[in-house]
Structure 1
């Protein structure tokens, strides 16, 4: 059974992206999100993960696409939305920092899969299916018409 994750490109009123710095593995910057728990819908998981990681409440605008890592049995569902408020936030064992960034000034380090999801969301794409077929091949295959 594939691991299913949900991530969101979240914008503020100025069009800046809300990103999180992971406090594990490569300590990369990423979109807020995480794994769908048993008996939880993808949208419930997205709202929960964003609140847990950032303190923000969001309004989901649209589904962007499904991103598969076939070599890792991993499926990510990506969405775009807007922040509609937040609660106080503090770093923890999972997330060391959060921030809003201009789309042309994304922080480093950030993996290519995250950059692709962000670019797809900001380009207005919807209903995509992208497949990453090997860890050494970070290029995504694009279905016809994408």
Structure 2
């Protein structure tokens, strides 16, 4: 069965991106998001995951695209939105830190797929489909600074 995930490029009023630092696996910086649970819509999952991981409430503005890793039976739906409020947040077993970053000063380590989703969102793309058919086939071009 395919895994379906949802992630968002979330901007604050200054145009900085909300990112999370994972507390597991490669301890990467990434966008807030995660898996869609059974009987849950992708947008409900996105709102739930963002709130769980960051404490932020968001307004979704646009669907950016679908990103498929066929070799891993994985599909990610990417969105762009803005933060509209937040509740208190503390690190936990899943997320070590959160922060807002200027688009030209993204933190490391961050994988190429995350950088691709961010670049696509910031470039105004919508309805995009990207397919990765092998782990080594993950090349992308980025706007200056990403």
Normalization by structure 1: what TM-score?
0.95
Could you say which residue in structure 1 is the equivalent of 2:77?
77
Q: Give the match for residue 103 of structure 1.
A: 103
Shift of 1:139: 2.0
Aligned to 2:132: 132
Q: What are the ranges of 5 or more consecutive residues in structure 1 without an aligned counterpart?
A: 141-146
> How big is the shift at 1:137?
2.0
Paired with 2:107 and 2:77, the residues of 1 have a C-alpha distance of: 22
Partner of 1:60: 60
Q: Deviations over 1:27-84 (max 9, x none)?
A: 0000000000000000000000000000000000000000000000000000000000
| Partner of residue 2, structure 1 | 2
TM-score, normalised relative to structure 2: 0.95
**Paired residues for 1:10-89 under 5 Å:** 10-89=10-89
Q: Residues 47 and 58 of structure 1 are in contact (CA less than 8 Å); yes or no, is this contact kept in structure 2? A: yes
- Structure 2: 5+ residue stretches without partners: 141-146
Detail structure 1 runs of 4+ shifted over 2 Å in the superposition.
none
State how far apart, in whole Å, the 1-side matches of 2:117 and 2:12 are: 17
CA contact (8 A) 1:3 1:74 kept: yes
* Number of residues of Structure 1 aligned to a counterpart in Structure 2: 140
Q: Distance in 2 between matches of 1:133 and 1:100?
A: 32
Partner Cα distance (1:70, 1:58) in 2? 30
